[in-house]
Amino acid sequence: MPGGTRGAADLVAREKAYCQELRKSGEWVHIWRCVGQYANISVFDVADNEALHRILWNLPLFPYMSIEVTPLAQHPSDLLVGEEVA
Amino acid sequence: MPGGTRGAADLVAREKAYCQELRKSGEWVHIWRCVGQYANISVFDVADNEALHRILWNLPLFPYMSIEVTPLAQHPSDLLVGEEVA
Amino acid sequence: MPGGTRGAADLVAREKAYCQELRKSGEWVHIWRCVGQYANISVFDVADNEALHRILWNLPLFPYMSIEVTPLAQHPSDLLVGEEVA
Amino acid sequence: MPGGTRGAADLVAREKAYCQELRKSGEWVHIWRCVGQYANISVFDVADNEALHRILWNLPLFPYMSIEVTPLAQHPSDLLVGEEVA
Amino acid sequence: MPGGTRGAADLVAREKAYCQELRKSGEWVHIWRCVGQYANISVFDVADNEALHRILWNLPLFPYMSIEVTPLAQHPSDLLVGEEVA
Amino acid sequence: MPGGTRGAADLVAREKAYCQELRKSGEWVHIWRCVGQYANISVFDVADNEALHRILWNLPLFPYMSIEVTPLAQHPSDLLVGEEVA
Amino acid sequence: MPGGTRGAADLVAREKAYCQELRKSGEWVHIWRCVGQYANISVFDVADNEALHRILWNLPLFPYMSIEVTPLAQHPSDLLVGEEVA
Amino acid sequence: MPGGTRGAADLVAREKAYCQELRKSGEWVHIWRCVGQYANISVFDVADNEALHRILWNLPLFPYMSIEVTPLAQHPSDLLVGEEVA
Amino acid sequence: MPGGTRGAADLVAREKAYCQELRKSGEWVHIWRCVGQYANISVFDVADNEALHRILWNLPLFPYMSIEVTPLAQHPSDLLVGEEVA
Amino acid sequence: MPGGTRGAADLVAREKAYCQELRKSGEWVHIWRCVGQYANISVFDVADNEALHRILWNLPLFPYMSIEVTPLAQHPSDLLVGEEVA
């Protein structure tokens, strides 16, 4: 990451603020830490693919991330509408 | 699956009932269908590894499933306690 | 495939009819044959993940297929709206 | 990428211009953004392998790209002629 | 393979005849046995993707094969025109 | 690793002290060296996923490690309670 | 597995007895269930490779198993002698 | 590559000269460009493994290459003697 | 394997006889059992690729085997001539 | 590798001396060059896992190597005792 230790801390802080803003807007539905890894599993509820790409592309840490997207739909055993896991 | 078409339908019905019972007890927190696949992503909130193994091992479709477990913990950007995704 | 040679031919015919119906409705935008393989690459333009899953799940050949879904969005160098490739 | 931030921006601009020129000539038929990734899926309609290699080799970003080519042909359920996806 | 030992021997004989016909027409340029495997590496020189797919799809052993196609072009250190390896 | 040879030696010493402290507390139950590799297989006995993540995240060498976690439970042929291998 | 349900139950019982005999002899040091899978991780303490192969080859379920062996040695942070994980 | 742009151009020129010398001697039988990649598929006809290793090890670009060797033999449908693809 | 238990035992006996014949002729230089697996690592010293393919193709168990061939040459730290591992 | 060209040559020389010492002691039984690669396949005959790890860990090139260890045992078709391949 650019800018040394201070630059890194700044990036992580901006990432956290960005995440919490989207959690409040209801688009970033879930986020879990993968145990023992600097990684997370998240679930998004967005209008369409364009919206999801915009959210991920604008993550402050996007240039340093490896992201995999799995499209999700409602499961017959569930009562919720479709979300997208990233 | 054993028992032909009728046996398969019976198994799937038992799987669904088993799932919904655990959803009510609060242990099977989320279930999503993976788009275009006969597969799901689920999140469990259980007491410990023993409890999770007992739940998965007793799935009526367990002998026909390939299961991968990723331990999850609370993410610093979240407010929820740790769950387990399977 | 069940039903021997005749059953297989019937399934393939139903698959083709199903495909062409969705091509006319505008949801199945593209389909190409992968050279040297019994496989295709297709692009879908659908309302949401639920719609895409319903289309794929109801393919007459679905039980015999291995499907991978890659969510697509508009590219800055393009002028079209987002579609989904399966 | 060489030349720092300014060099990178220049390269990306040249990439975009190169792409749009080929889109107008009809050789670069489709381009989609893969959601959540700095990557695209494209379809080319070219005279032969030599033509496709020349196009890809001359991409301004070629030295920084990892490219996979899947030869495509017309699908029996389609009405279009063969293209190549890269 | 269907038809027991006799059916298999018949299929292999038809495969060999089919191969040699295309070798004479100049489309199946090279074929080598991979040492220690029931597999080959072949090079084709064909008009386009449609022609290559027709050749591979009509191989008598096609339903029992796993085929991978790598598009080839002339190398700057070579003097030959582009062929396709399958 | 930062700080040259001296910094590296310091990090390894801190890693060893950290490990032995957790071995005494009973949370880091086993550690084996993988023959011919700068890697280990370890077994942890922890209260929950949060505790395991905290232990791994605070390893002095964490930023330089690639960690894989496999949740374990008691085996019917064993007499011990569930532990977690990392 | 051969012999239908009864044959399978008999095999599993023989597997369990075989395992416990080796646990008592001190050669099969650890066995854990992998959560959500019909699989285990075990640690053996044996005289040499010949002894380990003899133990694994004679497992009643050996013909139905896929086994991976990772040679282990004492870790500098540990106080135990080398064992072998299978 | 060492020596900047000039050093790289020099290396590529030496690689080309080395290749053409071996093409004339009959040991480097074929070379094709993989479409869209800085890679080639080549076929060698050499006395033995020692000869092939000497050729590949002395490639001017060897330190920057990732090479895979597949031993080839004459195919029953062919009339040529065994060569080696690298 | 065909012919039930008796057929299998017969095949394994023929495999062993075939192996020992080639060990005596000096072509099958080494054979080791991979611990915990129904698999071996072997080293062959043969005239050329044709000879190696003929040996492997005629293994009585060839139709039930998955074989990988790695061409070997003399190592500068060794004093032996090139052999081939399969 | 540290120390530029001279440092690298020194390391390789030390590696060779270390190897030949162990070849004389009988612990490093075989070493072959993998054709076309800066890699080798070796067979060791050692007292136990501790001895093998000590040998590999002390290779002058160990920090720059990627090592895979496959435990070997005597094959029923062979007359030699167990060795370990690395």
Please report the ipTM that was assigned to this predicted complex: 0.89
Q: Across residues B6-32, what is the average pLDDT?
A: 94
Select the residue from A43, A45, A49, A79 to test the C interface by mutation, using most C Cβ atoms within 10 A: A49
Tell me which chains share at least 3 CB pairs under 8 Å with chain C: A, B, D, E
pLDDT of residue E5: 75
Q: Across residues F70-84, what is the average pLDDT?
A: 77
Lowest mean pLDDT among A74-83, C54-63, I15-24: A74-83
> Which residue in F has a C-alpha nearest to residue G14's C-alpha?
F77
Using an 8 Å Cβ cutoff, are D68 and D56 in contact?
no
Using an 8 Å Cβ cutoff, are E84 and E43 in contact?
yes
Q: Across residues I76-84, what is the average pLDDT?
A: 63
Select the residue from E12, E33, E35 to test the I interface by mutation, using most I Cβ atoms within 10 A: E35
Who's near A76: CB < 8 A, 6+ residues apart?
B16, B33
Distance of CA I83 to the CA centre of its chain: 12
Select the residue from F44, F49, F83 to test the B interface by mutation, using most B Cβ atoms within 10 A: F49
* List of chain G residues whose C-beta atoms are within 8 Å of the C-beta of residue B68: 36
- Match 């496959």 to its residue by tokens: J70
pLDDT of residue F6: 79
**Higher model confidence: residue D14 or residue H85?**
D14
Per-residue pLDDT reduced to its tens digit, G39-67: 999 999 999 999 999 999 999 999 999 99
Position I1 pLDDT exceeds 60: no
Distance of CA D13 to the CA centre of its chain: 15
Select the residue from C29, C43, C48, C72 to test the A interface by mutation, using most A Cβ atoms within 10 A: C48
Using an 8 Å Cβ cutoff, are H38 and E82 in contact?
no
Q: DSSP letter for C52, please.
A: H
> In one letter, which amino acid is H67?
I
* Regions of chain J where pLDDT drops below 50: 80-82
Using an 8 Å Cβ cutoff, are A2 and A12 in contact?
no
Please tell me whether residue H56 adopts helix, strand or coil conformation.
helix
* List of chain J residues whose C-beta atoms are within 8 Å of the C-beta of residue I29: none
Hey, are the CB atoms on J50 and G73 less than 8 Å from each other? yes
Please tell me whether residue J59 adopts helix, strand or coil conformation.
coil
Using an 8 Å Cβ cutoff, are C36 and E65 in contact?
no
Using an 8 Å Cβ cutoff, are H32 and E74 in contact?
yes
pLDDT band at A35 (very low <50, low <70, confident <90, very high): very high
pLDDT of residue G6: 79
Position I66 pLDDT exceeds 80: yes
**CA pair distance H16, D68, nearest whole angstrom:** 25
Report chain F's mean pLDDT, rounded to a whole number: 90
Q: How many Cα atoms within 13 Å fall on the side-chain side of residue G36?
A: 18
- Match 């002290």 to its residue by tokens: F17
pLDDT band at C3 (very low <50, low <70, confident <90, very high): low
* List of chain I residues whose C-beta atoms are within 8 Å of the C-beta of residue G68: 36
Q: How many helices (H) and strands (E) does chain C have?
A: 2, 4
Interfacial J residues in 24-63 facing F (CB < 8 Å): 49, 52-53, 56-57
**CA pair distance F57, F54, nearest whole angstrom:** 5
Range J52-77 burial, b when 16+ CB lie within 10 A, else e: bbebbeebbeeeeeeeebbbbbbbeb
Position B36 pLDDT exceeds 70: yes
* List of chain C residues whose C-beta atoms are within 8 Å of the C-beta of residue D77: 16, 19-20, 23, 31
Closest CA to I50 of D16, H74, J85: H74
Query: Do chain F and chain H touch with ≥3 beta carbon pairs under 8 Å?
Result: no
Q: Across residues E22-42, what is the average pLDDT?
A: 97
Closest CA to H23 of H45, H52, H49, H54: H45
pLDDT of residue I30: 97
Q: In a structure prediction context, what are the per-residue pLDDT tens digits for chain H, which is 86 residues long? A: 556 778 889 999 999 999 999 999 999 999 999 999 999 999 999 999 999 999 999 999 999 999 999 999 999 988 644 455 66
Report chain I's mean pLDDT, rounded to a whole number: 90
C-alpha dihedral (H2, H3, H7, H12), degrees to nearest 10:
10
CA distance F66 to chain A (A): 8
Hey, are the CB atoms on A35 and F69 less than 8 Å from each other? yes
- Strand (E) or helix (H) holding H10: helix H4-25
pLDDT of residue B78: 85
Hey, are the CB atoms on A32 and B82 less than 8 Å from each other? yes
* List of chain F residues whose C-beta atoms are within 8 Å of the C-beta of residue B52: 71, 73
Q: Across residues I35-56, what is the average pLDDT?
A: 98
- Integer-rounded Cα Rg, in Å, for chain C is 14
Position E81 pLDDT exceeds 60: no
pLDDT of residue J78: 84
- Match 């010493």 to its residue by tokens: F13
Hey, are the CB atoms on H56 and J35 less than 8 Å from each other? yes
Tell me which chains share at least 3 CB pairs under 8 Å with chain F: A, B, G, J
- Match 């590496």 to its residue by tokens: E41
